[in-house]
Amino acid sequence: MSVPPIYLDNLATTQVDPRVLEAMLPYFTRHFGNPSSATHTYGWTAKEAVALARAQVAALIGAVPQEILFTSGATEAINLALKGAAEFHRDRGKHLITCAIEHKAVLDCCRHLESRGFRVTFLPVDRWGRIDMGQLEAAITEQTILISLMAANNEIGTIQLLPEIGALARKRGVLWHCDAAQAVGKIPLAVETLGVDLLSVSGHKLYGPKGVGALYVRRQPRVRLLAQLDGGGQERGLRGGTLNVPGIVGLGLACELARQELEAEALRLEALRQQLWLGITGPLSGVELNGHASARLPGNLHLSFAGVDGTELLLALPDLALSSGSACTSGSAEPSHVLKAIGQQAPASLRFGLGRFNTEAEIATAVVQVVAAVGRLRGQAGDHPGFHHQPG
């Protein structure tokens, strides 16, 4: 039987932690009740499990359980946050602010809102992927009702100036939605400290199941949204539909495990990232780091290689499961919207997403294979690389 490739694409999705899977399984069989069923023990058991999960998600981000709404994932949470806030507050203003390197879920929501008569400002970013706070403040007008800026970028790993964004939004009386799908469980996030009003979470980015997510909605002062999915009045009337109890249980435990292990896991991933960076850039020149050198996700390393074709490089690494960027856009041969926004036009880029189940031995193997593949392709092309190393 063939050996599966080493998985280094944990920014696209993560393996469900075995502890999470074990907690979920009874809710497919013995505890299969509907949490909305209030007349028997099957419903009560399911309702208690959902309540525990709500508390576990809230604890990870410093919220209270009543501020957590369960969704089918971060994309739905983003849609509810952006469209729900914009439509509820449209009588007060029709202006939103986001930036050029947001996830497609945010950018596509903004384009939809533009078609509905809203105006959206798309802020540029610097070469590291950060917005300019002066430009953000200058973009806010009396018509601005919502800022949507992510916690950390899904491709290059850059962490935004989160406390500064929250302080400015509070000062100007504008709601702030934070797409935290990549950041939750990987870096400390406290909604009260940061001043976040709306925050979206994805289960499958932090070793929980696919098909489940959450939206934090501030209660004090209360954030008002217009529901985007009508049904049986679940989730305080903001998200109708029978709750995905097994998925919610999995998300809850995944958040609890992340809360308990966050600090130690971040240090471990940073060490693996440094091992990967030094291993590749030691023997190879013409390698450039994309994203901020220090303010980045612990498990993210995004590199561009001079003198190599991107498609050929990926094909030359069949024993490594990684991508050239976002899983939503990695099928394209063109640089992603994120790389274009930071001015990176190199023909070959790789996103290494390190995770909970990666080992030092796997990273050592990856180093050998990447160095060999780049060297071989450069030799075939007769190219001489021109990049300078960036600090890792």
What is residue 385's predicted lDDT score, i.e. its pLDDT? Answer: 53
Output the pLDDT for position 1.
Answer: 62
The predicted pLDDT at position 2 comes to: 81
Q: Where are the domains of the chain?
A: 6-12+262-381, 18-258
Distance CA 195, CA 40 (A): 41
Burial class (CB in 10 A: 0-12, 13-18, 19+), 198: buried
- Taking CA atoms, 264 is separated from 113, 187, 223, in Å, by 41, 11, 34
Q: What b/e string do you get for 324-352 counting C-beta neighbours within 10 Å, with b at 16 or more?
A: bbbeebbeeeebbbbbebbebebbbbbbb
Residues of the chain with pLDDT under 50: 326-330, 384, 388-392
Is 6-12+262-381 a CATH 3.30.300.10 domain?
Answer: no
Structure tokens at 276: 């990967």
pTM higher than 0.85:
yes
Which pLDDT score is estimated for 326? Answer: 47
Catalytic entry in 99, 110, 255, 328: 328
* 255 counts as catalytic: no
Biggest CA pair distance of the chain: 74
**Residue 305 main-chain phi, psi, to 5 deg:** -120, 120
Q: What is the pLDDT of residue 111?
A: 98
CATH says 18-258 is which class? alpha beta
